[in-house]
Amino acid sequence: MTTSHYEPNDHPDLQSLDEHIGRQFEDVLAAEQYAARISAQRRMTLRDRLVRAEDLTCDVAIQTTTGTITGPLSAVGADHVLVGGRSVIAIAHIVCFEQTG
Amino acid sequence: MRPMVATVVTARPWEAAFVQAATAGARVRLVARIGDAPQLARLIGRFDVLVVGAETAWLEPWIPGALRRLGHSSIGVHADGDTVGARLVDDACLRFDEDTPPEMLIAGAVSLGQSRTCNSERSTTVPQTQR
């Protein structure tokens, strides 16, 4: 007799039912987690990604409307980022950024 | 030193609250929100503490212990009264129920990060009275 996960009395006649319920439960958990992952990505903002890059202590290449600035991402403010300890860039002016190291 | 923390993405509100608190403050560095087991395997060595919920579909009871042997600490989060879930995270260094305020989880991650890894053979459940 196998140890039941969902049928508390561990009755042998209910083993297949227990396995079926177990599989369904795992499927629901997996679908729930997949949805949560996609949902988290869809809610993510440019600033969230910059904060993540700062936490990873990444070097970045930030492209703005006037050019590209590269260097370590020193800090992320409420509306700007600091690159290389000296270049302050408004987040609203960032066209794209790339983690380079 | 700010410990590098990774979470496993879940639909439960505790994880979103933890992420929000971690990014709003600066006590930990949130380096990843892990989606699946292969991603966790790829990130081995790139975080100090993993915060994982018992509702994670691919979580197996041996994973927290294996992470510990690889030098990573883990925090297990499970629903209050969920005995099956609690068993899944039994080997985590710290265990909390999912109603725990995110600041407490962050404090746990900081303490584990400072000690680098938990050396105890058994995990510790933080009792309600200590919160």
- ipTM of this model? 0.77
Give B100's pLDDT tier (boundaries 50, 70, 90).
very high
Q: Is the dihedral of CA B65, B67, B72, B76 positive or negative?
A: negative
Q: Supply angle C-alpha A51, B9, B128, rounded to 5.
A: 100
Q: Tell me if A55 and B9 make a contact (CB, 8 A cut-off).
A: no
* Confidence at B116, pLDDT banded by 50, 70, 90: low
Return the pLDDT at B86.
93
A25 phi, psi to nearest 5 deg: -65, -45
- Cβ contacts of A33 on chain B, cutoff 8 Å: 9-11, 35, 55-57
Does B37 contact chain A (CB < 8 Å)?
no
Q: B129 pLDDT band (50/70/90 cuts)?
A: very low
What tokens appear for B71 in the block?
């030098």
**Chain A residue with minimal CA distance to B34?**
A37
pLDDT band with cut points at 50, 70 and 90 for residue B119: low
Which of residues 65 through 104 in chain B touch A, CB cutoff 8 A? 84
Residue A26, pLDDT score = 87
pLDDT > 90: what percent of chain B?
Answer: 79
**A87 burial type by CB count under 10 A (0-12 exposed, 13-18 middle, 19+ buried):** middle
CB B76 within 8 A of CB B64: yes
pLDDT for the residue numbered B121: 46
Nearest by CB to residue B11, choosing from A33, A51, A55, is: A33
User: DSSP letters of A10-40?
Assistant: --GGGHHHHHHHHHHHHHHHHHHHHHHHHHH
For chain A, list the domains and their CATH numbers: 11-99 (2.30.30.100)
- In chain B, the residue whose alpha carbon lies closest to the alpha carbon of A31 is B57
Residue scoring higher pLDDT (A12 or B104): B104
Q: Are A36 and B11 a contacting pair at CB < 8 A?
A: yes
Is A55–B33 a contact, with Cβ atoms under 8 angstroms apart? no
Task: Give the pLDDT of residue B111.
Answer: 94
Measure the CA angle with vertex B51, ends B45 and B55; round to 5°.
Answer: 125
Which chain B residues have a beta carbon less than 8 Å from that of A55?
Answer: 4, 23, 29-31
Half-sphere exposure of B90 (CA within 13 A, CB side): 9
A50's CB contacts (< 8 A; 6+ apart) are A73, A76, A81, A91, A97
| Secondary structure (DSSP) of B87-122 | HHTTTSSEEEETTS-HHHHHHHHHHHHHTSS---SS
Tell me the angle at which helices B102-114 and B13-24 cross, rounded to the nearest 10 degrees.
60
Tell me the pLDDT of chain A (101 aa) as tens digits.
445 566 677 788 888 888 888 889 889 988 999 999 999 999 999 999 999 999 999 899 999 999 999 999 999 999 999 999 899 999 999 999 999 97
* Global confidence as pTM: 0.83
Which of B117, B110, B116 is closest to B18 using CA atoms?
B110
**pLDDT category of residue B115 using cuts at 50, 70 and 90:** confident
pLDDT number for residue A1: 41
Integer Cα distance of A59 and A74 in angstroms = 9
The reply to whether residue B29 touches residue A48, judged by beta carbons under 8 angstroms, is no
Helical pair B13-24 and A46-55, crossing angle rounded to 10 deg: 70
